[in-house]
Amino acid sequence: MLVRPKAGILDPEGEAVRGSLRKLGFGVGGARVGRLVDLEVDAATPQEARAQVERMCQQLLANPLVESFEIEIEGDAA
């Protein structure tokens, strides 16, 4: 799952990264810094896995006041 600062919320870390990239000569208009969490989840179906991860995001992995999240389910490892 991928967490990032919600749109419209100031992201000082992203701003600092953007500043550094511009200094290096890259024409970067904006940068947002988020977090990637790889999870291995026991679930019978992708739908069930998604539902589980959604609950994890709401309870711990993201703070809904300031962060949004996206979930990507990868195939069946088992």
Partner 1 sequence: MIQPRVAVLRFPGSNDDRDAVWALGALGADARLVWHAEEELPEGTAAVVLPGGFSYGDYLRCGALARSANVMDAVRAFAADGGPVLGICNGFQILCEAGLLPGVLRRNRDLEFVCRDVAVRVERAGTLLTSRCADGQLLTIPVKHGEGCWYADEELVEELEAAGQIVLRYAEDCNGSVRDVAGVCNETGNVFGLMPHPEHAVDPLLGPADGALLLAALVDAARERALAAA
Give the neighbor-by-neighbor strand order of the sheet with 35-36. Answer: 35-36, 2-5, 67-70
Region for residue 66 given its phi and psi (left: phi exceeds 0; alpha: psi -120 to 50; beta: otherwise): alpha
Choose, by CB under 8 A, the member of 1, 18, 61, 69 that binds partner 1: 61
**How near is the Cβ of 38 to partner 1 at its closest, in Å?**
14
Q: Which of 36, 44, 60, 77 binds partner 1 (CB under 8 A)?
A: 60
Question: Would you say 51 or 56 has its CB closer to partner 1?
Answer: 56
Query: Could you say whether residue 16 binds partner 1 (CB under 8 A)?
Result: yes
Instruction: Give one word for 25, left, alpha or beta, with left for phi > 0 and alpha for psi -120 to 50.
Output: left
Query: Contact positions toward partner 1, by CB under 8 A?
Result: 9-10, 12-13, 16, 60-61, 63, 65-66
